[in-house]
Structure 1
Amino acid sequence: MKINLCILGVANVAWVAGDRLQGGKYTIERELGSGRFGITYLVRNRNSDRLVVKTLNDVLLNSLSPSERGRLKTMFLREALKLQRCKHKHIVQVTDSFEEADRLCLVMEYVDGVSLADRRQQKLSEQEALQYIQQIGEALIVVHENRLIHRDVHPGNIFLPVRDGQAEAVLIDFGLALDFDHILTTNRSKETSEGFTPPELYAQSIPTGAYSDIYSLAATLYVLLTGKTPVSALKRKIDKARLVAPKDLNNLVSDRTNRAILTGMKLDPKERSQSMREWLDSLGLTGEVPQWVGLWLGL
């Protein structure tokens, strides 16, 4: 699949089935979903390859002044160009970009397969779960090196295409320009994923960093090993709800992995690992295969 992330212009334009972009290069098939920030469409190119077009919401854009729209467009483009430099087999890839009728569009790889949210087994083995977590963690290292934060890592944004007969994890759906400071965007609560979003992503005023994606990836590992979504950071912070240790829900979880998840999900960002490499190391994921798997295989 290839994804087009587009910024719409001033006009309140909604694409419908059959609409053609770039002189027929891309044809809209249907809307896939919409939210406060964006609308996503399924499209095909002239070769009938499937693509996705994600646009910023007209309601948001039409509420902005011309200067604010220009600033948002600049921010989106700057972050999109960073994403375009993130070349990794476990990240959805930007393959092209264009502008049409004041709409900035990014063409991205379409990832075909089921997501980890739609996995048939509620609990994965630790070996399988760590394999997927390492693949996404290594991809996020590249993202962070390009001074980007994904902001929405969770099982529904990790797809499992089959490559060379084996399922591999690929991270999709990056949030771009979400730090735009406008009254309609400063409340991030509608862009959060219950159980996976760290506390700093609920408010505009708290800085984000690699540690934000670490929280979300640790929460993803939590659910893969336990079959249970962890209690939300907001409930933990405000209602003092307790985060049940993954090992208490699945006694097959190793002590090392249990500790790494709980450290990665600390409410205070300063108490988490400060880089994805550091957190992966704490899991023993220091190379292409987990350290403990390598020892088991005699590598």
Structure 2
Amino acid sequence: MARNIGSHYTTHRVLGRGSAGTVWLGEGPDGPVAIKLLREDLAADRDLAERFAHERHALLGLEHPNIVAVRDLVIAEQDETREHQEVALVMDLVRGPDLRRHLERERRLAPREAVEIVAAVANGLAVAHAAGIVHRDVKPENILLDTPEGGRVALLTDFGVAKLIDEPRHGGKGGVVGTPDYLAPEIVEGLPPRAAVDIYALVTVLYELLAGFTPFGGGHPGAVLRRQVTETAAELPGIPRELWELIQQCLAKAPASRLRAAELASRLRELLPDLAGLPPLDIGDPEAAAEPAVVEEPVVAMAGTGGGGGGRAAVPLVRGTAPDSERETHTRMRVPDAEELAGGAHGTARTIRPAGEPRAGSARHTASARRRRRLTVTAAALVCAAALGGWLLLSGGDSGDDGLGEPAGDGRLATVELPEPA
């Protein structure tokens, strides 16, 4: 059903949902648009509405072929009591899917296609960073693929939304806000996000496009955060050495070691001729031992548009709930302390498994299981021996046969053979 947004826009149908709001297909004075309506509880936050109004110029000022442009910001009262209001971002309409849906369909992309997409997004980031704007939530769900005549264009959306929603009231001191798989180590350690966090997240996306999985993902969000700080990404076989070295540099733990957005875009374009004709990588899923969680559970979820859920499951944000069908993985957690971040093995986070090779069991878990079995058998043996000894002592004055083939009154204890522990 059509719904008016302010005095110039009308919504028609839902295009996508996320934990921060819903994106609608809408109509404006100049034709079709995408309208992102913030969640009702967020829109009801007067401080948040003021922050959006304060950042209006920055939101509307970003123009680049690889950025989804914001055309208007609407803050409107819903009724005469002025108790309810709507906050809406009116954006260019992109007809194509987001990168998450494309990746779910393809599983992995050919290196040239992956590098072309990431180079385009890096171009958009360079313009934003030059204007002093950090995205803070670069991930496949926030990269849209437009399909105009003659090709395909990658566009980054939701600039500034994460910052506006998360700060200052919602962020709180000592909080970690973002999507765990793409969070730079300095954010996990509680440092303020600079432009380098977007580079780390974007190259994490590149790794995922090539491999089909992120370098540090898997398991509880707290375990993912710890890997971001302590582990090294496993090398991807089958890509040119120059591309792997570029990925390594931009996944460096030290922000100053990473390339800037314009440098990254330029270096990636230089590699395109060497990637022509290379097929998608033929590798299996990574092997990884389960990591203990750094945090018990997230406190609140916030996300951008979010894509439809398909092949890749989301981690439940609240214990006992089902995974979010729309991948609302933008979470807030407390900052792990130094002792928690230092825990666990250092080195490569996960080992890449060749395609077709069966998944091996975790060596750590196998050893633990063996120790548990030994302890169980030993304890059972001690209990049996103690019970048998007590019974022999109590029955010492009875008949000469104790039922075990040994005379009971000769001063010797019977011996029971126990199986060798596995």
TM-score of the pair, normalised by structure 1: 0.74
Q: Deviations over 1:80-121 (max 9, x none)?
A: 421322111110011233442265543111212122222232
Q: Secondary structure at the match of 2:181?
A: coil
What is aligned with 1:236?
227
Aligned to 1:6: none
Distance 1:237 1:125, change over 3 A: closer
Please tell me whether the aligned partners of residues 43 and 87 of structure 2 are also in contact (alpha carbons under 8 angstroms): no
Compared with structure 1, are the counterparts of its residues 99 and 157 closer, same or farther at alpha carbon in structure 2 (3 Å cutoff)? Answer: closer
Aligned pair in 2 of structure 1 residues 60, 105: CA closer, same or farther (>3 Å)? closer
Map of 1:2-81 to 2, 5 A cutoff?
17-23=1-7, 25-27=9-11, 29-30=13-14, 32-35=16-19, 38-45=20-27, 49-55=32-38, 57-60=39-42, 69-70=46-47, 72-81=48-57
Larger Rg: 2
- Contact between 1:33 and 1:39, CA under 8 Å: does it hold in 2? yes
Q: Distance in 2 between matches of 1:162 and 1:34?
A: 23
For structure 1, the 5+ residue unaligned runs are 1-16
Contact 2:11 2:35 in 1 (8 A): no
- What residue in structure 2 maps to residue 106 of structure 1? 89
Aligned counterparts, 1:152-231, within 5 A: 152-176=137-161, 177-178=164-165, 180-182=167-169, 184-186=170-172, 189=176, 191-202=177-188, 205-231=190-216
Computed over aligned residues only, the root mean square deviation of the Cα atoms, in angstroms, reads 3.0
Counterpart of 1:226 in structure 2: which amino acid?
Answer: A
Paired residues in the alignment total 257
* From 257, 270, 273, the counterpart of 1:291: 270
C-alpha distance in 1 between matches for 2:165 and 2:28: 32
Question: CA, structure 1 residues 25+73, in 2 after alignment: closer, same or farther (shift >3 Å)?
Answer: closer
- Alpha-carbon distance in structure 1 between the residues aligned to 2:21 and 2:249: 35
The answer (yes or no) to whether the contact 2:112–2:275 under 8 Å persists in 1 is: no
Shift of 1:147: 0.9
Query: Could you list the per-position Cα deviations for residues 161-201 of structure 1 after superposition, in whole angstroms to 9, with x for gaps in the alignment?
Result: 1122312211112243145222x323754x52232121333
- Report the Cα distance in structure 2 between the residues aligned to 1:24 and 1:84, rounded to whole angstroms: 17
Give the partner amino acid of 1:161.
Answer: D
Task: Tell me which of 65, 74, 94 is aligned to 1:89.
Answer: 65
38-47 or 152-161: which moved more? 38-47
- The letter for the 2-side match of 1:33 is R
User: 1:122, CA displacement in angstroms?
Assistant: 2.2
Contact 1:83/1:146, CA 8 A, preserved across alignment: no
Q: CA deviation at 1:136?
A: 0.4
Q: Secondary structure at the match of 2:34?
A: strand
Distance in structure 2 (CA, Å) of the matches to 1:29 and 1:272: 41
Structure 2 residue aligned with 1:137, among 105, 116, 122? 122
Contact 1:85 1:146 in 2 (8 A): no
Partner of 2:182: helix, strand, or coil? coil
Alpha-carbon distance change, 97 to 61 in structure 1, aligned in 2, over 3 angstroms = closer
1:229 Cα offset (Å): 1.6
Indicate conservation of the 8 Å contact 2:139/2:182, yes or no.
yes
Deviation at 1:143, TM superposition (A): 0.8
**AA in 1 matched with 2:27:** N
Matches within 5 A, 1:241-260: 241-245=231-235, 247=236, 251-260=237-246
TM-score (norm 2): 0.54
The structural deviation recorded for 1:42 is 1.4
8 Å CA contact retained: 1:162, 1:168: yes
